[in-house]
Structure 1
């Protein structure tokens, strides 16, 4: 990719959080989006709440859809393009699923024919309503909907890998039916990359939808294990971007870093700016990155109860729209990168990944796993590592297409960084 990467934010309304759809105020939305645009960002990701938009399986509320269109138009008036998440789904520790899928109407979210037909119609309806808006980027099927399919969810809708793939393809196709030619994709949390046996897989992420999507959160054990300023913490997003690539059928499939944030106390507030700058720069040292979308635009109003503590302060701006250190750091980095952007050179050294689709393979990729730790030792040693599956490590044509000239086995990575000059 030679185009300058996109820089955006996940929009968290200042008044009422995502419950603002119940008391929708376009003036509040406009003020929020003004404060986002002032940071120099170019897009937002927005979140309808599924139960509010589709309270009955055969009812997608026209007024709710009109409000979504008004929000998207307000963003466009401020030079912001918009990605819309459909099935919300899961947000900041809360689940939002409609009553027609729970309790007396309990049905599997991924396999019940009536539920999946209702979901597809909902996604098609939202996409169709926005299809003629030039500032509409496309749909994301939902926010980390994979969380509903397996542990540690308290009430999972269990499915197989094949059923997950079928569901994803159907939902992406529904988005395409509503808005042909836009950028439609799906999003998982890092269980897809790190959890053995999870039904949503790296191959699903890298082969279904218009681009691959990663969400990077260092509260997953990375910062706890390595510390807030360690290579592993500041390179976690870059690692996920590179880990996403080997499964792609196209060697230069775009990868979107769709969520990344500075969660306290794992990243102390006094380090939030430095962490933001390092994370963005490291992510953009990976080839084929479509863009970086920070979580989130504004802090959560502390008058709202029961959020995990770290969720309240993830904003680039405060709840009263004042720029925080992370927001200032991102704005400065964006301005500089737009002026000086050059596509990163290929990562010529790749770490070989064994058994990633089998028992133990994905766990090795997680923080503390043998593959994760070897990759981070290489990164700390000045190498710019890529990732390659064992089955393609001897495929000269595939390696050449990705710009890889050297492959390294995890067992051959020294246990302690040696500090030569940068390689790869």
Structure 2
């Protein structure tokens, strides 16, 4: 069976299905189509499917016209009909893995997707989970669901884990050039999954088990979380000493070995770093293993929005002699990172909540997010609209708070006309009215 599947992959007589057409699944679909595969994309939101098939843009940095030719020639189709999951030869799962209200893993999307696959599973299919999760998910959660119908992993169908490494908005690292880690719990599944990804990306990195591959992804993001926490702590220390942490980092990174630059900010955002470490801390409890570094990093990073608000209040008091109650504040950037339209776990939401709790009136400007969508933790902000930036607009606010350093914001205009700027991203030039936070 494997030899026949290998030949079909090489001949591109092999359909790839992708569940979840979001920030991970949609770029993955483009990559697969560009490599000559037919792609069937699945998403539970019919409106999203309709928008994609009509040529609409659902993610700003992936223009809808990129799918025009693949849709026209039949090499790409999006559907909300999960009953068609028997059609693809490989099914790649790219769905959210959030935390629940108790900060514990929520695998609802993974489990629902797996059950849908199980209902249509046929011999010879490859199933790969790409969503970040705790080590053991593929074997302990997915495999029993998929095998309940009688087919067995490694002989009748194939099961693997390959963590996504998508960096939204980064043009330097696209799916096709980022090496792909692949892990499975039987040789046949590992061989087939590696074969498929060998034809999608520049290099595959096979590992000995699905759990190892799951641990790789967590390690990558925990590394970032811990180092961001370290530099955030250094920022708070150096601020008290009157030292500019950004200048320190710029000088430190001149060392060509033994140092890697990380940068402070107003808090963590996105679908990875604020969430993934908790997947390991949760699983580690099963083994009675402490995760002190990870938990301390989480405490520091989650405290940053409050630190920023305290710094803002101090700067406002020094500059104008007034407090936060009744202050008019313009927040720049609702997205969690520069130059994207992604608001998942954005610290801007927490900053807005804290400011309004203290009586401030907050507006925002974000060229990538014209209107705040519904979010899980802050539904009260849904529908708010970005204000336009002009000299008069900026001058009307008591303070401008920089939360996200988008490239297409006129930072000079802001510095020239704002009464006070509180900059958490070191994007504004030095001026008497600019405070770092």
TM-score, normalised with respect to structure 2: 0.26
Structure with greater Cα Rg:
2
**Larger RCO, structure (CA 8 Å, separation 6 or more):** 1
TM-score, normalised with respect to structure 1: 0.27
